[in-house]
Amino acid sequence: MPGTLRATGIVTLVAAALLGSAYALGRSLVPDRPRHGTGVAASVNSPHYSDQPPVPTDSPEPTGTSPTPKDGPHRADVGEGPFGSLISTGSARVALTFDDGPDPQYTPQVLALLREYGVKATFCVVGENAATHPDLIQQIAAQGHTLCNHSWNHDIALGKRSPDAIRADLLRTNTAIRAAVPNARIEYFRQPGGAWTYPVVSVCEELGMAPLHWAVDPSDWQAPGAGKITAAVMAHTGPGSIVLMHDAGGNRAGTVTALQYLLPELMNRFQLEALPTGTT
């Protein structure tokens, strides 16, 4: 399968490489992109995922500063994202993360490419999908990738709900993951849409999970094509970056094609890791 993908995607990847170089050159000639108030680099568009309503603008704000990170193995000095969420691995290593799966069409293709290049990644899985495709959860774990809780049904408004409702959602998702892989380590939670609030961070940490955000968002959830995905990742990834991509939630053919170029190129520049390595 990887050989077929490379054959069919060769023209796109050559264009992607040229676009990535042009993109990086252009970046050196213009000022840095604006940043969100959270300190996370702005994406080309916005961090909202495809099939989801916009992040509510009236999400509850904390009083004072963001919650103080708890002592423990997760946080180190990397909780610089919204409400203290993680945007860095805490080392020079780079972490690739894949959201919204597992998906029976695209997750196996992503897994095959990662296996071909010997790369471990982090999969932020949706509870409904984990319950429907336990075999894919088993494959992710068996290949040494990290599992991350991404809520039961990708509810962007989850952070606005009561702590009890948030807790029930996260526990239900963990149960679905562990039904496929008993005793699975689930040390991270990623809030859908990046719509973090104090209550959702508080609950996920109470359950022993670190809030996992990202530093690089190529907006592949909008299916912009392999060239744009490649250019964005190559232009913005640096030491310690957590990169957001998707293996589900829509047509992810562009992401799969982009990975054929990105994996060897990133490996030439960085050491790639599966969280929690480097943050524990």
Q: Is the pLDDT of residue 186 over 60?
A: yes
pLDDT at 138 over 50: yes
Quote the pLDDT of residue 217.
Answer: 97
Least confident interval from 31-40, 100-109, 131-140: 31-40
In the prediction, which pLDDT does 259 show? 98
Which amino acid type is present at position 143?
A: Q
Which pLDDT does position 276 carry in this prediction?
A: 80
Whole-number Å distance between alpha carbons of 41 and 32: 10
The residue ranking higher by pLDDT, 116 or 11, is: 116
Lowest mean pLDDT, pick from 49-53, 209-213, 232-236 = 49-53
Average pLDDT rounded to a whole number, residues 237-254:
97
What pLDDT is attached to residue 13? 52
Mean residue pLDDT of the chain comes to: 80
96 near 245, Cβ under 8 Å? yes
* Cα 238 to Cα 243: distance, rounded to the nearest angstrom: 10
List, as one string, the DSSP characters of 43-99.
-SS-S--TTSPPPPTTPPPPSSSSPPPPSSTTTTT---SGGG-B-B-SSS-EEEEEE
Q: At residue 200, what is the residue type?
A: V
Q: Where in the sequence numbering do the catalytic residues fall?
A: 99, 246
Query: At residue 2, does pLDDT exceed 60?
Result: no
What pLDDT does residue 97 have?
98
Q: Which domains does the chain have, with CATH numbers?
A: 2-34+76-273 (3.20.20.370)
12-16, 20-24, 152-156, 219-223, range with the lowest pLDDT? 20-24
